[in-house]
Amino acid sequence: MKFDVILDPDSSPQEVCELGLLAESYGLNAVWTSNYPSSRDPFINLCPLALASSKIRLGPLVITPYEMHPYKISKALDSLNELCGGRANILTGGPTGVNAAMGMDFSRMVGRTRECVEILKGANPDEPLNYKGDIFQVWGYQPKWATDKPPKIYIGANKEQMTDMATDMVDNIMLGDTTEERLGSSLQLIKEKLESHGRSREDVSVSCLVAWHVKEDKEKSSSEAKRHLALRGMLDLWFLSTFLNEEECQIVDENRANIFKAYKQKTDVIEGVPAGIVDKLVDNLSMSGDHADVDKHIETLRRYRDIGLDEVAFKLHEDQAAAIKIIGERVLPAFQA
């Protein structure tokens, strides 16, 4: 199993470089920059690391064909890939908070993503790309300078339509925040969809985002995890129903605004949601606790590996260097032969 880290959206280019080199020193697979409504540009944020590093992969997530035309995404991605000598990644997919900031709707998610990936894969230095899709067009694009090994393209997919498209299009899929039960069903769906497209499970590497809040201080860990609950799978009831009963799901659903308010105000006090439910959300949608809990999380990750997960992308928040250190010194060695 490979391990990536997704850096906090407030990280500066200098911090991204320092943290990325630290991750590289431990042998982690990749560093991702977050694309939030008010974050720095995720491509530019990676440039110092692209130039300073030598082994670790790097890329932005999530870059959607709602906010950027795929032609512009392709130019930015191939430019980053040139800077790092063919080690670039990208995660594309459906709408994010950036859509809301731009006042855009969420229409034609699967079609937009498919055409975006077709353009990203079609651009090459050997011949002009002429592409006429139902949504996007590109004429005469030929980046003769883009001669490095092509970047890895990930599609974010959890449910059936997106998974069907992704398994037909790419070699890398990333699942969002999930639960162990949903992870198993998602991996089974990926296997079935691959077979329907004449492909095997070995053709695709599947990653999963996991929120990482482990700290020396258990209370700090709990507080951070509670403050960021609004981001965990957008609290989709499809996930919540695996560990909350119907009444508890209803309470969470009715208090979404309060959970988001806690995130915006950076508080761990969530109005309207009983403490017991908040604790269940933290325990089931993230990896938290103190250093004594790391072995428990390693066992969970081993179960993820054993049911077929290939990669984990740990979403980091505060104290990122300390998080990378504990992942590099405790988690990664447990999965090395």
Q: For each of the domains in the chain, give its residue range(s) and CATH number, in order of start.
A: 2-216+286-335 (3.20.20.30), 229-285 (no CATH)
Q: What are phi and psi of 157, to 5 degrees?
A: -145, 135
> 107: which 2 tokens?
């229409």
Rounded CA-CA distance 146/22 in Å is: 28
Q: What pLDDT, on the 0 to 100 scale, is given for residue 336?
A: 87
Q: Which of 309, 313, 301, 286 is nearest to 89 (CA)?
A: 313
Q: What pLDDT, on the 0 to 100 scale, is given for residue 102?
A: 85
Q: What pLDDT, on the 0 to 100 scale, is given for residue 110?
A: 93
Q: Strands 2-6 and 137-141, how do they pair?
A: unpaired
Q: What pLDDT, on the 0 to 100 scale, is given for residue 337?
A: 65
Whether the model pTM is above 0.85: yes
Task: Round the CA-based radius of gyration of the chain to a whole number and report it.
Answer: 20
Rounded CA-CA distance 58/206 in Å is: 17
Strand partners, 207: 174, 311
Rounded CA-CA distance 91/6 in Å is: 12
Cβ atoms within 10 Å of 181's Cβ, excluding its own = 13
Hey, what amino acid is at 271?
E
Q: What pLDDT, on the 0 to 100 scale, is given for residue 107?
A: 83
Q: What pLDDT, on the 0 to 100 scale, is given for residue 99?
A: 80
Rounded CA-CA distance 143/149 in Å is: 14
Backbone φ/ψ region at 57: left (φ over 0), alpha (ψ -120 to 50), beta = beta
Rounded CA-CA distance 97/83 in Å is: 28
* Low-confidence residues of the chain: pLDDT under 50: none
Query: Where do we find the tokens 């908070």?
Result: 97
Query: Where do we find the tokens 């090459």?
Result: 124
